[in-house]
Amino acid sequence: MRTLTRLVVAIAIVSAAVPGLAQAAPEGQIVIAQGGDPSTLDPHMHAENFTFAVVHHIFDHLVRRFVKDGRLAHEPALATSWTALNPTAWEFKLRRGVKFHNGEDFNAEVVKFTIERVLNPEQKARWRWAFADIERVEVVDDSTVRIITKKPLPTLITNLAFAMPMVPPKYVREKGDTYVATHPVGTGPFKFVRWRKDDELVLEANEGYWRGAPKVKTIVFKPIPDETTRIAAVVTGQVDVARGVPPSLVKQIEDNPRTRVMKVPGALNIHITLETLKEGPLRDRRVRQAINYGVDKEAIIKNVLEGNGFALGGPLTPVMFGYDAEVKPYPYDPERAKRLLAEAGYAQGLALTVNSPNGRYLKDKEVAEAVAGQLQKIGVRAQAAVHEWGSYVNKWPDGLAPMFMLGWAGTWDADGILYPLLRSGQRFARWANPEFDRLIDAARNTLDQGERTRLYSQASRLAHDDAPWLFLFHGMDIYGVNRAVMDWEPTSDEGTSTLMFRAWKRK
């Protein structure tokens, strides 16, 4: 316990950036194009990246997450320090003098209100599962708060940094959830201005931000689902940053003297969830294994992604805590796949639909079509069904059976992907395995990181063997960027990668 406390304190005393000497007023505008619009601007009511990219500009967390040497790291944000008093009690010292964009004070009551809002079952917060083991929040004084958990919660700091943005109590109570979902108020570096659905979302600099004013005055997010149109927009100067550049259009950006390509290995695990809970062929493990043997991941990476990806054999990607490099991808073995199908009683084949979004993940439509084509070669009458992102999200997950593509990085801790996507009873889990559940639950109940690593390794191997997913790859995140955009580099953390706090645009 002393080791844990010393570690936490050591992390916490790393000072966050603070305002220094007088600096120039924010100026200019940066326009960001992504493949879809946010589903909501309520930071507690979503679980998709197009929304994360926006709300991370508006809201702050108690703890800030960032990427260091390819791994997740944390530093103080609205909390200046935190200490584990014992295995089930954490104390947070809060930053003084911080105000919300509407003038409300940030204090311990805000923390209590925010956490209790997420925990309220009637709220139906999308990340409630990550905090379900919080028993209560105690206000010690205006700048001190304690979080008491029902049992040891090793993911508390990670989850607070990812899915617990602080919201203003008075504003939320007076305006109500519907209004808050389209008119957000936070403490972050940018303030909400307006949102014209499916057209543009505008933010402006918070010049009183506690870390100092941003350098750029205005941030504009534009949803452009079509890849060709999105890349044309950055090449012609209509936008400054284009997310989700397909490999086939990289040269178009590279050949333009005003733009450049920026790449970083992505954290998203791209896979196809297999429906095992309902009656059908996918309830048979042999069929699921056959699908994994029957898809040539390396060929898809080479021919569809043009080399911009890495095959995966399990549910975690290399940047995540708990990743086990010994969990190898299924080799491409169509003959073995056919034998497994025959053993399962499907020698004459079966019919399956592969559902995919269009424009959310790297070459998602083309990947789904390639998967369907390869499955046809082993006797599966597969077809790809492609959906616009907004429609896809609304159908998640029941409306996309029996197979649907999903990319997930979550909190970068193994728990942030294994629990919501594979632990039985969770919304996205289309599989139930008691031994897997036991391993995940055990890992959630110990602060021993070595023991957690061992348990997650076992869980990953079990998931590999039982094949609740068609394991595919993690890809490169590719951006097209106007060369006038300065002091910005993408990171593997897709949710905060486009954060423009320090960025500015050269005239």
Q: Are residues 296 and 397 in the same domain?
A: yes
Which residue type occupies 102? N
CA atoms within a 13 Å half-sphere pointing along the CA-CB vector of 456: 28
Q: Is 484 part of a structural domain of the chain? A: no
Q: Is the domain of 278 the same as that of 172?
A: no
One domain, residues 37 and 138: yes
In 3D space, the residue among 153, 213, 464, 113 whose CA is nearest the CA of residue 316 turns out to be 464
As a whole number of angstroms, the distance between CA 283 and CA 235 comes to 47
Examine the fold and report which residue of 151, 186, 221 is the final residue of a domain before the chain moves on. 186
Q: Are residues 31 and 180 in the same domain?
A: yes
CA 280 to chain centre: 31
As a whole number of angstroms, the longest Cα–Cα distance in the chain is 74
CATH code: domain of residue 404? 3.10.105.10
> Strands 241-242, 469-482: parallel, antiparallel or unpaired by DSSP?
antiparallel
Last residue of a domain, one of 163, 186, 209: 186
Task: Answer with the one of 170, 186, 202 that is the final residue of a domain.
Answer: 186
Residues 152 and 287 in one domain: no
What pLDDT, on the 0 to 100 scale, is given for residue 213? 98
Query: Looking at the domain assignment, is residue 192 inside a domain?
Result: no
What range does the domain containing 379 cover?
269-475
Buried b / exposed e over 480-499, threshold 16 CB at 10 Å, is bbbeebeebebbbbbbbbbb
State residue 17's pLDDT score: 41
CA distance 507 to 487: 14
Are 284 and 407 members of one domain? yes
Same domain, 6 and 146: yes
Supply the pLDDT for residue 65.
87
CATH number at residue 78: 3.90.76.10
| 458 lies in the same domain as 323 | yes
Residue 126 in domain: yes
Segment 225-263, tens digit of pLDDT: 999 999 999 999 999 999 999 999 999 999 999 999 999
Tell me, yes or no, whether 244 lies in a domain.
no
236 domain residue, yes or no: no
Flag residues of the chain having pLDDT under 50: 1-21
Q: Are residues 180 and 290 in the same domain?
A: no
What pLDDT, on the 0 to 100 scale, is given for residue 12?
A: 43
Q: Per the domain annotation, does 482 fall within a domain?
A: no
450 and 352 housed in the same domain: yes
Same domain, 179 and 277: no
pLDDT tens per residue across span 83-96: 999 999 999 999 99
Residue 394 domain-assigned (yes or no)? yes
Same domain, 325 and 470: yes
Q: What is the pLDDT of residue 22?
A: 52
pLDDT tens track for 22-45: 568 999 999 999 999 999 999 999
Sign of the Cα torsion 385, 389, 393, 394 reads: negative
Q: How many domains does the chain have?
A: 2
Could you tell me if residue 251 is inside a domain?
no
CA neighbor of 179 nearest in space, from 166, 192, 164: 192
Query: Could you tell me the two tokens for 334?
Result: 């169509």
Which tokens belong to 96?
Answer: 């003084």
